Copies of this chain bind each other. A is one copy, B any other.
Amino acid sequence: VSDRTARRVERAVEALGYEANPIARSLRTRQSHTVGVVVPDLTNPLFPPILRGVEDGLARLGYTTLLANTDSDPERERRAFAALEARRVDGMILASARANQELIQEAIGRDLPIVLVNRSVDHVPCFAVTADDRRGAALAVQHLIDLGHRRIAHVAGPLDLSTGRDRRRAYLEVMHDHALDTPESLVVLADGFMAGDGVVAARRLLDSGTPFTAVFAANDLLALDCIDVLREADLACPGDVSVVGFNDMLFADRFSPPLTTIHYSHHETGRIAAEMLMAHISGEATTPTTVLLPTSLRVRGSTAALET
Contact = CB atoms under 8 A, between A and B. Distances in A.
Interface of A: 19, 21-24, 26-27, 32, 34, 42-43, 45, 48-49, 51-52, 55, 64-69, 71, 83-84, 86-88, 224, 250-251, 254-258
Contacts of A42: 42, 48, 51-52
B83 A64 contact: yes
Nearest to A87: B22
Contact of A27 (B24, B49, B52): B24
A43 B48 contact: yes
Contact of A52 (B32, B51, B69): B69
B51 A69 contact: yes
A9 B87 CA distance: 24
Nearest to A76: B59
Contacts of A65: 66-67
Contact of A224 (B64, B83, B254): B254
Nearest to A41: B48
B26 A23 contact: yes
Contacts of A84: 64
A81 to B, nearest CB: 12
A250 B41 CA distance: 13
A19 B85 CA distance: 10
A173 to B, nearest CB: 32
Nearest to A249: B251
18 contacts: A21-B27, A22-B88, A23-B27, A23-B88, A24-B27, A34-B66, A34-B87, A42-B52, A43-B250, A45-B45, A45-B251, A64-B83, A64-B84, A64-B87, A65-B67, A251-B255, A256-B257, A256-B258
A69 B87 contact: no
Contacts of A255: 251, 254-256
Central interface residue in A45, A66, A67, A258, by most chain B CB within 10 Å: A67
A254 B225 CA distance: 11
Contact of A64 (B26, B45, B49, B66): B66
A65 to B, nearest CB: 6
Contacts of A224: 254
A245 to B, nearest CB: 13
Nearest to A32: B23
A254 B87 CA distance: 40
A99 B52 CA distance: 26
Central interface residue in A45, A52, A83, A251, by most chain B CB within 10 Å: A251
B83 A69 contact: no
